[in-house]
Structure 1
């Protein structure tokens, strides 16, 4: 049993709920709940306990079986838990039934991510995108929201339109959604014009799973001050900076991080944000090599890139946070050589299968500025090839 952490007057307590099935075994479920706990911490909640149950499919009324729900109900009541967070999206009826049973706030992964996005959005564009996603999520849940509106006092999952616009009827909500879509369309056109006005400089986009260190790398490369912290979705707005390496100029953009089980509403409303990726000439795929499931993160990012037809773009694989990686049995090319347990050297990394990915792989620590010169050389090589084709008469300058 996980001990309850000391309760803060500013932070809510929560229990996490997930399922184990043939598509999501016990190990995978634990990993998803780890990520969900990180999301909860980012939103401002302390997780007291986790609950899981083996089910082929979620229960249509309460997500979990009655016995497990009774167990959660007893724990929530005994420890005065503020909320229950479910790892998968709940239907409107499930939300209503579970809330009535647990007598506490109930969120699913979608609602939690929407809440984090609402708190993190800084620009008018990002706020509009998040607001649209919130309304589309809340629309089928209006009945439930009306029923419980009088006892909602803010907190995680209640930011944005939940407290101000839900009192309106479905017709007005739909009108609001239409207006937000029109506003986004106008902003998209303005941003497209801005991208067009940047000239013909080669465009390089940082992509990767959330919290892999893209913003830190952006700060190192562009000498900028993009927010970088150990939180999921620390930055939502795309940042573009001009970078020069050995007199070779190019544009570097930092994009929103990807995540598994990203809410459909956010994928749709943030599609335009991915235009920076779609229109980039080169992608720098940043990977947190210290994460135990970094390969799945790579696959998740590649899947999203494939959806916007970006898989054919020249890609530099950047394995970040090598200073945090430690392994007893390195998967080196020479299987007969054994290395004692220790932090790997750059020579160790260069002998792994990862060094051969896409023909361009670099191992760095953006935080400690390790091997940044090698990364700059690799970027220079890839960008200069594109630049020389675009500006053939300037070749002698580079």
Structure 2
């Protein structure tokens, strides 16, 4: 295979740009393909949300080295940025440092091997990858020595339906949102003020939405929230509190608990949505046992994300049947066993597929497992870049210590489908009550 061919990175989010920085540091040609019109396009969609992680954990080492050469000033390590700040103060200058390596407005339609569909064995590994893209000039085919898909999961939120499929009536319901509301925006605020909203989900994004709605109720007393949980009890949904090694994440759980105890949040447990009914301008959620909740004006479904694997149909992937993560990685991140702080260090070996030279990285590598940390993604792409460059000793030397949640295990067997909104990836979230927080944002494009 031609060593002059580039490494193609899909997604110009935090992990994708870190992958390009790692490649640049090793002298590997790289091209980053981003569907949006600027770096961190998905990060900016939750720009109002403050991360749980401080700046010290949000800057990739290879990226910092590249930026330092351009006179970049690192933000205060102890500060917690919002998504907008992360994009503007880090991703924008990083993308500028990478220069023409980053292509915007470029949609990846598919990945394959030159002249080989997924069935053909003959000389397969000797052929470069082909990456079919669509941009303003039309469609074209790029050749690559390796492909790193760091496109995240932000564009594929899980449906409201408790069986993983959209509930009947869900597709047509204009009262259902799948993102944390930005209540600082006047139009968003008007949508939820003095109205009754169901928040479905048990992860950090759901807690954030509940805290925000409870805060809105202080100014608009008619505002009410109904917290709808698939699990049979609240259990450890509030997290580890003071035991959480990410203080801002623990503080979020404490504020959510206070919102529930204040009476501004009604709790419904053991409810798996099976149908969405319209009742005038309101919405009624019905579970698989026929139980119907009281009508609500709005629904915020925060039940996690899933990877979009359609563009990879011609790549030989080795994915776990449950999590849709690489088979060697899946046991290390199973949410029935692990929280984000108990995930074992992993790199190119665990992320490899039957298709040599192809890797999923960042949140997409976690499939349907929740709570991804930016630090994890940065170490993933460091190891991947080393492997592509032929430095197998460095690729195998994976060392990473992650902050624990204060909760010893994941949600439990009955809660395996109740994923947090891992839209993006690093356990994030600010300590100030007035700010929104997000669990896992760095892995999205």
TM-score (norm 2): 0.26
Q: Which structure features the higher share of helix residues?
A: 1
Greater relative contact order structure (CA < 8 Å, 6+ sep):
2
TM-score of the superposed pair, with normalisation by structure 1: 0.28
